Structure 1
Amino acid sequence: MTTKPKLCYFRGRGRMESIRWLLAAAGVEFEEEFIETREQYEKLQKEGLLLFGQVPMVEIDGMVLTQTRAILSYLAAKYDSYGKDLKETVRINMYADGTLDLMMMIALAAFKPPEEKEENLTLIVKKAKTRYFPVFEKILNDRGEDFLVGNKFSWADIQLLEVILMVEELDASVLADFPLLKAFEARISNIPTIRKFLQPGSPRKSILQF
């Protein structure tokens, strides 16, 4: 019997959400253990499970993994979402890193003082529209394919959809000038495993749970 991956993190999005997305897109069921007390966190540290004293932590394939980028890379390779060769893999890495930069801006904004938060979120939407989304619109236009890399669904597509939805929570009209991204969003959202993850009651965390 195959053991489900076990995810250990705080009860929120943070750095674990992209891991949830990747597993869900692969159709992999997982369990979650939420850290809700200081004692739980200290116990993990004392047991030597947190390599650099940080979560997220994922137990999978007899291993205990930490460091978000390493976890995502492993899962992408394991579930065939990492390209067919090194050239595709490096492009997937570039696109995923770009989307991760934008995601972290949004996540960190949640912890800003109230008087700074609104201004900061407005700036993030502006950066999405002027720096990040134009890049992906051009990629889709230049390649003329349904997916970002190799005309096959990959980790890059998962993370791009995730960040599009995050920015749309801040500004529902953010894709008004990006028709190819809008079509991409509809197309990827309709993949059965992703459609399931987007339904109420799934492990996906809400905007209030950063």
Structure 2
Amino acid sequence: MAGKVVLHYFNGRGKMESIRWLLTVAEVEFDEVYLTRREQYDKLINDGALMFQQVPMVEMDGMKLIQTKAILKYIAEKYNLYGKDIKDRLMIDMYSEGLIDFQEMFLILPFIEDVKPKLDNIQSRAKERYLPVFEKVLSGSIYLVGGKLSMADVLLVETSLMLEEKFPAILSAFPNIKAFQGRMIQIPAINRFLKPGSKRKMQPDAIYAKTVREVLSHMSI
């Protein structure tokens, strides 16, 4: 019998945060084991838990899952957040992978001193490349694909909130996305996740960056 889902990562957002979001929307309870020492990481490797010597790693259904996109797809498929057919899944994948690519621009911010050029680039990419896509799709649509909640919707609301943390007025030019965000945060599971004391992580700080450097200095975050 499979036990409780366990996440192995740092006490911060990074590549695990989207997984936390999706599990939350699926209403799956999970525990977390935070990496704070190099010895923990080495033990995971020596135990054969990390196929490519990378985290995130999720223990779920008797398996040790790695690779963020693969983990997200597994959760989405299992909990009916992955569309009704192969064409829906294709669109969900395209939207989701675009959002994941965009989110990766945020990952480097805790590890650099001069963040302004990076933030300027994030803002311009958001306004010119990413947000217009979703603004158009959401014109007259409640959800991104098939009139039904999916992984892509979860990633979009997560990304929209990340953007507003850095650029509070950024969605003013994208009313459909702002309205979508308003609907999404009323979903009970998301509403709870956004309240203090939940398992949602705050913006990464110097302690998070220091821990990552010490534990995983040569790996992707």
TM-score by length of 1: 0.95
The corresponding residue for 1:169 is 165
Query: Aligned partners of 2:111 and 2:103: how far apart in 1?
Result: 14
The offset of 1:101, in angstroms, is 1.1
The corresponding residue for 2:129 is 131
The offset of 1:192, in angstroms, is 0.6
Q: Which has the higher contact order (CA 8 A, sep 6+)?
A: 2
Query: Aligned partners of 1:19 and 1:173: how far apart in 2?
Result: 27
The offset of 1:21, in angstroms, is 0.2
Query: Aligned partners of 1:4 and 1:199: how far apart in 2?
Result: 23
- Report 1:85-104 matches (<5 A): 85-104=85-104
The corresponding residue for 2:117 is 119
Q: Figure out how many residues of one structure are paired with residues of the other and give that number.
A: 206
- 1:140-167 Cα shifts (integer Å, max 9, x gaps): 11xx220000110000000000111111
The corresponding residue for 1:199 is 195
The corresponding residue for 2:218 is none
The corresponding residue for 2:217 is none
- Report 1:140-151 matches (<5 A): 140-141=138-139, 144-151=140-147
Say if 2:15 is the partner of 1:5: no
2:60 is aligned with what amino acid? Answer: I
- 1:14-67 Cα shifts (integer Å, max 9, x gaps): 110000000001111100000100000001010011000001111111111111
The offset of 1:208, in angstroms, is 2.5
1:118 is aligned with what amino acid? Answer: K
The corresponding residue for 1:26 is 26
The offset of 1:118, in angstroms, is 1.4
The corresponding residue for 1:40 is 40
1:158 is aligned with what amino acid? Answer: V
Query: Aligned partners of 2:174 and 2:14: how far apart in 1?
Result: 27
Query: Aligned partners of 1:87 and 1:179: how far apart in 2?
Result: 27
Query: Aligned partners of 2:125 and 2:68: how far apart in 1?
Result: 24
Query: Aligned partners of 2:84 and 2:24: how far apart in 1?
Result: 21
Query: Aligned partners of 1:85 and 1:187: how far apart in 2?
Result: 25
The corresponding residue for 2:180 is 184
Q: Percent identity?
A: 50
Structure 1 runs of 4+ with >6 Å offset: none
Query: Aligned partners of 1:65 and 1:123: how far apart in 2?
Result: 32
Q: 2:2–2:62: 8 Å Cα contact kept in structure 1?
A: no
Query: Aligned partners of 1:102 and 1:110: how far apart in 2?
Result: 16
Query: Aligned partners of 2:64 and 2:106: how far apart in 1?
Result: 28
Please give the secondary structure, in 2, of the residue aligned with 1:176.
helix
Q: 2:6–2:31: 8 Å Cα contact kept in structure 1?
A: yes
Please give the secondary structure, in 1, of the residue aligned with 2:195.
coil
Please give the secondary structure, in 1, of the residue aligned with 2:111.
coil
1:124 is aligned with what amino acid? Answer: I
TM-score by length of 2: 0.90
The corresponding residue for 2:16 is 16
Query: Aligned partners of 1:180 and 1:91: how far apart in 2?
Result: 19
Query: Aligned partners of 1:111 and 1:87: how far apart in 2?
Result: 39
The offset of 1:2, in angstroms, is 6.2
